Amino acid sequence: MKTILLNPGPVTLSDGVRQALMGPDTCHREVEFADLTKTVIHKLLGVYALESSYTARVLTGSGSSAVEAMLATLVAPGDRPLVLCNGVYGERMANMLARQGKQAEVVRGDWLAPIELQALETRLESDPTITQIITVHNETTTGRLNDIGKIAAIAKPRGLPLLLDAVSSFGGEEIDFIGWGIAACAATANKCLHGVPGISFVVAQESLLAAAEGNAPGLYLDLTAYRGQVGDGYSPFTQSVQVLFALNQALDELAASGGWLQRRASYRARSESIRAQARALEIEPLIDPTESSSMITAFKLPTGLSYPILHDRMKQAGFIIYAGQGDLSKSMFRIANMGEIGPDDLARLNRAFAEAAT
Ligand SMILES: *Cc1c(COP(=O)(O)O)cnc(C)c1O
């Protein structure tokens, strides 16, 4: 029986993406791979129809490597970034900045609540030394889609660059780069883009990257060293060749199926179906579904049902669900709905969910 992944990445692959992994043996320092790198960067920018003021860099590593590279490169040693946290991934960015020896201010909010905009404004009024705002778009911990438009409306008039962890939203949610004035975002091949894990990327304003020389404390995650990717197409280090083949194919499939807007619509249809089944089982969503992202739903574990039992029953039926993280690990579980999931799979999933939860 085929296993369907309902964890927040990696996802169940399409046949086309799996087939792309079988591409020819290729040296990463040959013109074929350099051309492919440029093509993939062009397609990544094309997901949100970005014009020439934005650029992208791809690197071999999981989503966290792109997030860490973005922070390493675009936050200078003397900066005072403000990190807005309402989950594990906001905390992870605060931790990364601390490890890089950078003086981040961290505003911690309730993990079950939206980011407090009034608190942000008050903080910025009282602290004019803040140099950028950093937050998570879809906080996968709870599946909350943070309202970046509203945060941008506070950051933009103050001229504060906004850096986003968009690892679990890029390709499956709206990211209004121009309207919100996004300075940079980090994302990965293997979530809403439906590629294979191993390649991640940063989309950034060209001018910011150009001015970021010397910021990064390390070598591998210094995005300024990847400049060649948009020139002759060469990367400074060995790339995961087959994973880039797969990402190229996944981006073609995304475009052919109607782009991010259509992908969000299909995720929403899936998650609404899963939420309806949960309602029928009297399993409550952890947060208000209107504040949830399209690609994952967090649910409260019903009394009398432990996560390991639910997980194992679902796995037996061919579905991999996901535990809670941090303080929420005992009280919740998550069901993501990215990747190759057909209507039959969804019907089977809802039946398995009903059986596993009763
Ligand atoms: C998945 C994810 C990451 C990165 O996780 P990796 O395991 O490094 O790929 C970062 N941020 C968010 C919001 C995520 O969902």
Task: List C-alpha distances in Å: 225 to 216, 229, 237.
Answer: 10, 9, 10
Ligand 1 atom nearest the C-alpha of 200 is 9
Give the span between the Cα atoms of 153 and 133, in whole angstroms: 12
64 within ligand 1 shell (Cβ under 6 A): yes
Give the span between the Cα atoms of 255 and 207, in whole angstroms: 28
- Assessment of whether the complete model's pTM goes beyond 0.85: yes
Residue pLDDT, tens place only, 289-310: 999 999 999 999 999 999 999 9
- Which of the listed residues 65, 168, 294 should we mutate to test ligand 1's pocket, taking the one with most ligand atoms within 8 A of CB? 168
- Which of the listed residues 5, 7, 60, 64 should we mutate to test ligand 1's pocket, taking the one with most ligand atoms within 8 A of CB? 64
338 within ligand 1 shell (Cβ under 6 A): no
Residue pLDDT, tens place only, 93-121: 999 999 999 999 999 999 999 999 999 99
Give the span between the Cα atoms of 197 and 11, in whole angstroms: 9
- Work out the average pLDDT over 231-250: 98
